[in-house]
Structure 1
Amino acid sequence: MTKIKNELLKNRIILDEYIEQFVLKDFRNPDLDVNITLLYFEGKAMLIDTGYLFQAEVIADFLLEREIEVTEVLLTHYHPDHSAGISVFNPNKIYASEHYQDNFKRCSEEWDPKTHYVKPTHLLKDQETLFFGPHMLKIMDSKSHSIDSIMIEINDQYLLVGDLIMRDIEHTTTYPYISIDGDIQGYLHSLNLVQERSQHILLLSHGMPISDQSLFKTVVDDYLLYFKSLEAFKADREKNIPQFDWSFERWHNSNLRFLL
């Protein structure tokens, strides 16, 4: 890889045999890294999310050097920092939520029209199970950060939550972000599902994995409190929304548009 591409790849986290996460710089949002998750076996790979084009190219070169072919891609949702890089890999299968259409259109026509976005070949339903080599993946509909958001339970050990929970480059939890088609109730439902899996290792699309159970509990409990407070404020403007020592406070201000 060239020097620039080497600088883009900040970290390679080996989670388990045949499971890794790549941590990449994002020039468009330098306070928030982008993670691409790799499941592989016998020279074949499934990527969970692909990053932007320039990030996908870094991973493509890395895998080419190791003679690993990306045959499948699974998207946590259709936002540019998760789905723009699909065309770099030309996979046989592309999995995404059955609710992907609106965000696919936004990517292609509004947010990033210069990039060629590729439609999924397989649409996923809630509680569907996928298998890739030795890996078992259970799909959970999230409809939180966006209507097409999904969470993925991997081998009954890891829970990849997409953008449901995010942490910045300083390992500070960010305020959550409700996208244009996101939903507060979807967030509460999804966080309750996460809370039920407190023995899992939490994998984020932005931020380092969370394996410490105390940190896991703190992050999830605080997010639940935040969204319950938003619901209470929506019903009664006299209610207070607690302030947290989180980054990306502008996302909180953006979330308030759902309440006004």
Structure 2
Amino acid sequence: MKKIKITEGLYQFQFPPFENQHFGFNIYALINGQEALLIDTAFEQHAKQVRENLKKEGIEITKVVFSHFHPDHISGLPELNSPILYGNGLYKASLNKYTPIEKHHFFDGMNTLTERSQLTFGSFNLTFKLVQGHVICGMFTIINNQFVHVADDLMTSNEGAPLLPSVHVDNAKKHFDSLELLKRYASCTLLLSHGNALSGESEILSAISDRQSYLEAITNSSQPISIDAALQDTRCDFLHKEWHKYVYL
């Protein structure tokens, strides 16, 4: 585990990929005195390490904001001591699809967020943009209008290499649109669920453009296209090209 200070009171806990994978896992912690708000919990072994690290500093995890409800973002919750939970109101659709029913009780009492919601935690003010494409219950979290947690809409390896967007053909246009929304925040620092923080307007816009090119190729084709055809107009070399086979399943 690496603990990276993003700014005063905001930390990134980064974990390595599983074997034969290129994407690691991030949990972000906002600190207010002796309390912490997490963005996502990754898997149980990840959440446990974050909990223990903060506990050594006398800090208790009291709140969790979920960027979305895929297993690699929520499975660590049982390792925490019943924090207050926040997430997209469509979270049950993903729970029903990906999470065993016997674990649904961990998410009881979810506080659902809208685009009018504001959450204040110490010196941090959080607002939200609900997005779809990668998943139905996605959400951007804007922190002090300086940082934007982008969920899985933009992913890299822990070394910064781009990862292919993970999407189904039916949702590719929505994913394109969520990235179009993200352009509004190109002057901010993007906090990735998988990868390192990304800043610099030109770099961010270039990263968005390459992913939109792939998504647009999928959307505009009336029949399934190959990965080579889908990437012919991109300027980067994506890792995990094998994910393309799931586009049409």
Q: Tell me which of 76, 85, 91 is aligned to 2:76.
A: 85
For residue 190 of structure 1, what is the amino acid of its counterpart? S
Q: Tell me which of 187, 197, 204 is aligned to 1:199.
A: 187
Percent identical among aligned pairs is: 26
The question of whether the paired residues in 1 share the 8 Å contact of 2:38 and 2:65 is answered with yes
Seen in structure 2, the aligned counterparts of structure 1 residues 106 and 236 have a Cα distance that, compared at 3 Å, is: closer
Unaligned 5+ segments in structure 1 are 1-8
Q: Secondary structure at the match of 1:234?
A: coil
Most deviating of 143-152 and 207-216 = 207-216
Q: How does 1:144-159 map to 2 (within 5 A)?
A: 144-159=133-148
Most deviating of 48-57 and 91-100 = 91-100
Distance, in Å, in 1 between the alignment partners of 2:139 and 2:20 is 23
Give CA deviations for 1:212-260 in whole Å, capped at 9, x if unaligned.
33321210111122212211113797xx523451000011221244xxx
Seen in structure 2, the aligned counterparts of structure 1 residues 235 and 253 have a Cα distance that, compared at 3 Å, is: closer
Q: Secondary structure at the match of 1:51?
A: coil
Q: Tell me which of 7, 13, 16 is aligned to 1:16.
A: 7
For residue 72 of structure 2, what is the amino acid of its counterpart? D
The question of whether the paired residues in 2 share the 8 Å contact of 1:145 and 1:177 is answered with yes
| Segments of 4+ moved more than 6 angstroms | none
Q: Tell me which of 40, 62, 85 is aligned to 1:71.
A: 62
Q: How does 1:175-186 map to 2 (within 5 A)?
A: 175-178=164-167, 183-186=171-174
Q: Which residue of 1 aligns with 2:149?
A: 160
- Residue 248 in 1 paired to residue 240 in 2? yes
Unaligned 5+ segments in structure 2 are none
Q: TM-score, normalised by structure 2?
A: 0.89
Give CA deviations for 1:89-123 in whole Å, capped at 9, x if unaligned.
1244101110011211233328xx7x676215201
- Residue 218 in 1 paired to residue 206 in 2? yes
- Residue 56 in 1 paired to residue 47 in 2? yes
Give CA deviations for 1:32-60 in whole Å, capped at 9, x if unaligned.
11000111111111000001001111001
Q: TM-score, normalised by structure 1?
A: 0.86
Q: How many residues align?
A: 243
Deviation at 1:130, TM superposition (A): 1.4
Distance, in Å, in 2 between the alignment partners of 1:46 and 1:19 is 10
CA RMSD, 1 decimal:
2.3
Q: Which residue of 2 aligns with 1:95?
A: 86
Q: Tell me which of 15, 18, 36 is aligned to 1:27.
A: 18
The question of whether the paired residues in 2 share the 8 Å contact of 1:84 and 1:116 is answered with no
Distance, in Å, in 1 between the alignment partners of 2:152 and 2:69 is 11
Distance, in Å, in 1 between the alignment partners of 2:36 and 2:19 is 27
For residue 56 of structure 1, what is the amino acid of its counterpart? A
The question of whether the paired residues in 2 share the 8 Å contact of 1:107 and 1:117 is answered with no
